[in-house]
A and B are shown apart, each in its own frame.
Chain A
């Protein structure tokens, strides 16, 4: 029961941190003005076009595809296998389990292998390509390592040392209802959960912010219509209003 309580507190804390952390970052991105029109052109000339551009980036990694095919395939496979895996895990929270989650279950079970292979590929790039090695900080490797070990500990439970999955599900259902439930004291499970907790805690303070951040990237989310529609940031409008040239001259 002690383990259950500790992990329950940690998961609540991690959820709190990741939700509020990301919300806070989104708030900062939202309220920081983009004073100039800087879409990387050619850019869509309508809002709808921008939505399509953004979707091709978010779902297909279009710019990355143009840039580097090896990196694209590794990144694409990693992200989509992760998506399948995360969706599969909903079965440990939902009751009854949705049909779509049931449907992906057989794929999800094996997606872990692909997930790890792609991550190993991404890690190898950081060692073997001199340019990528140069720009890599220890935390970049550590983050890949974290994901690899999350995958590895998950696969252990899946294929070698099963845990009491009914008990795990009861624990997570309990979390939703603020209701303490015990967790099985199995090493692979606790390692798996600990690493996931770390991932949740670092999300809002690390480069994982690329996930919400891409939606705020002015070079990708702006409509190319500067001649048709005047674009003015509040601080720039203030210069005009007070008829001043420099910000430090403002009242």
Chain B
């Protein structure tokens, strides 16, 4: 299936043994570099030369003019604007607590994928140019004594390669005695790379589409309306109930912002239909926006506050234009981190919204209490063909919250699953909640040119999943993140699972919910048969009328 080694999983303990180091297993050129036209759109420099092939990535003659100076200037700029970067570059004691915590290290064995080693790629340069110790030992010819390194082409190549093998999942920061967050370092590194002509094609192109059209897919308003109409028909065909998925409906109470993958990808779209059913049953007046038709915000991945803000402001604008009172987010990991943790900062203050609701609110924060209060008619047995487990998405688990209490982000999705399914089992404790393992595709890694690291990075999660499938009969894993869902459906076949074992949480709700006035399968069949008969009768009548008319028209000639 691939020209690289796929990690083997056993299912025994559910935890992968810490591997011995194997240097350079993931050495390489990194993902595709972005073209100037896309970089320009992000307000990044464009005075670089597009490398002819991957072998040339990071060569000095492909980078911007004075690349070294400009990289260091950007580093100085960022460490002056981000306390996290300044502090984290200074205070690591190299204790090694994080070394076995990264899923990419565990899956690839490459030492540069250990969080501290990944940070050191940048820290070494910081020490060389910005610290007394680094400058002093460089002067006496021994910079390596204090872990300092000059900025060279090879360093840039390592930056580009290894900072695109970090999904910014923050698992390392949980275990660091000082909370050093490699995500902050990798975001800064990507921001520096963007300023010397090494932007990543995947993230930049996608953001270009959001800036231009409003979503990652480049789906224009007309196509989006068609898609939503199609989903309405699907729900109608299935239930006999007219559930609406409104678009740009002015004066609605709720603006739903959801990742655009929800509009078409499997199993995302089943989740979207789930939100629609819940809103319908609760009688909520809601809409989506074609202008802000994207929950995802890749500005976070590339560490660009400015671009992240630019995308967030579309949501503010859409909320103002549509005159809504609330903003609700669908199932997406990093989108929820940007929404929960950053939106108020980036696009606030939201004083024009109804202050009686959380701003913004997660769709699960609506569904969970509704289920708890019995406001939704649920038949749990409709999910009896599955035994579920739940994958905590990293950005939700470690970068945000749901509900009023710390840790609500773990309880609320589980409460919802348990309220609509009879069979639920958690994966091993070291792989869930805030110790959850990334799916392997987060942080701007979800692109085909990074398939190898995506497959390897999924190993710890796959091991945990295999453990519960073999020991506890788990058949399906639910997720609340568009990236997790896409990543898993793509990589789990490498580990012997099938794509359809990944489900959306609201898909489970959708399966189990009985809408008011919903028809049973028999009733739908009967109704369809009746409709078919009606259609046939109408057709016959038409044909008969036509024949009569034809006969009449013929008459005069006769």
Residues of chain A touching chain B, judged by Cβ–Cβ distance below 8 Å, are 25, 28-29, 32-38, 40-45, 57, 61, 63-64, 66-68, 71, 75, 125, 129-132, 134-140, 142, 202, 205-207, 209-210, 213-214, 216-220, 224, 226-227, 230-233, 235-236, 239, 245-248
Contact A40 B173 (CB under 8 A): yes
Q: Mark B301-315, 1 if CB is under 8 A from A, else 0.
A: 000011001100000
Contact of A220 among B20, B131, B179 (CB under 8 A): B179
Report if A63-B345 is in contact (Cβ < 8 Å); known contacts: A45-B406, A135-B120, A137-B145.
no
With known contacts A28-B86, A131-B100, A226–B92 Cβ distance under 8 A: no
Complexed CA–CA distance, A248 and B359 (Å): 30
Instruction: Report the minimal beta-carbon distance from B65 to chain A, rounded to whole angstroms.
Output: 17
Cα A69 to Cα B144 in complex, Å, equals: 30
Residue of B nearest to A54 (CB): B179
B21 contact set on A, CB distance < 8 A: 130-131, 134
Contacts A34-B84, A217-B87: A40 and B174 contacting too (C-beta < 8 A)?
Answer: yes
Q: How far is the CB of B355 from the nearest CB of chain A, in Å?
A: 10
A219 x B101 contact (CB < 8 A): no
Q: Can you pick out 7 interface pairs between chain A and chain B where the beta carbons lie within 8 Å of each other?
A: A29-B87, A32-B79, A63-B175, A135-B120, A227-B358, A227-B360, A239-B309
Chief secondary structure at chain A's binding surface: helix
B86: chain A residues at CB < 8 Å are: 28-29, 32
A42-B177 contact, Cβ under 8 Å, with A226-B344, A227-B358: no
8 Å CB interface, B109-124 against A: 111, 114, 116-117, 120
B114–A213 CB distance below 8 A: no
Contacts of A132 in B (CB 8 A): 94-96, 99
Query: Interface residues of B, CB < 8 Å — how many?
Result: 74
Residues of A within 8 Å of B174, CB to CB, are 40, 63, 66
Q: How far is the CB of B360 from chain A (nearest CB, A)?
A: 7
Query: Given A63-B179, A135-B116, A139-B145: A32 and B82 within 8 A (CB)?
Result: yes
Contact (A233, B81) CB under 8 Å given A135-B96, A207-B94: yes
Report the minimum CB–CB distance from B196 to chain A (whole Å).
16
* B133 on the A face (CB < 8 A): yes
Decide: B90 and A209 in contact? CB cutoff 8 A: yes
Question: A67: which B residues are within 8 A, CB to CB?
Answer: 97-98, 101, 175-177
Residues of B within 8 A of A35 (CB): 81-82, 305, 345
A214: nearest residue on chain B (CB-CB)? B178
Which A residues are CB-close (under 8 A) to B175? 63-64, 66-68
Residues from chain B with Cβ under 8 Å of A239 in the complex = 306, 309
Q: Is the CB of B397 within 8 A of A32?
A: no
C-alpha gap A219/B170 in the complex (Å): 10
> B230: CB under 8 A from chain A?
no
Asked if A214 and B91 make an inter-chain contact with CB atoms under 8 angstroms apart, the answer reads yes
Residues A36 and B341 in contact, CB atoms below 8 Å apart: yes
**Residues of chain B in range 527-549 having any CB-CB distance to chain A below 8 Å:** none
Instruction: Flag whether B184 is at the interface (Cβ < 8 A).
Output: yes
**With A32-B81, A246-B43 as given contacts, are A63 and B176 in contact (CB-CB < 8 Å)?**
yes
